[in-house]
Amino acid sequence: MKNLEIDRKSGITPIFQVMFNLLTRQMLGAAADFLCPAKSNDPVAFGPLKILPYPIQQQEGQYDMTLEIIDTEKDLFLCFEILYRYF
């Protein structure tokens, strides 16, 4: 680490941090339809509410690399996020 001249913080791993998250319909219920891109503009029912996904610009994550997979039983939705400042 000294040769790389990187400021080392003792609470953070020295190379990079990675997160892998696998979510299933069994875990998410109807929220799986909301989290995955809709193939139509049909609203998702949450009790008496009907909601549509709202796209949000990519925000900087808590990890250097994140791979999230949502299994809706019909499709797999993959989201890969990376902090480009390191790569």
* Domain extents in the chain: 18-51+60-82
C-alpha dist (Å) from residue 71 to 12, 35, 36, 86: 31, 11, 9, 29
- Tell me the pLDDT tens digit for each residue of 27-74: 888 777 777 765 667 787 778 888 877 766 766 667 888 899 988 888
pLDDT at 32 (0 to 100)? 77
Average the pLDDT over 15-22 and give the result: 83
pLDDT at 63 (0 to 100)? 80
Question: Is the pLDDT assigned to residue 1 strictly greater than 60?
Answer: no
Assigned token pair, 71: 């299994």
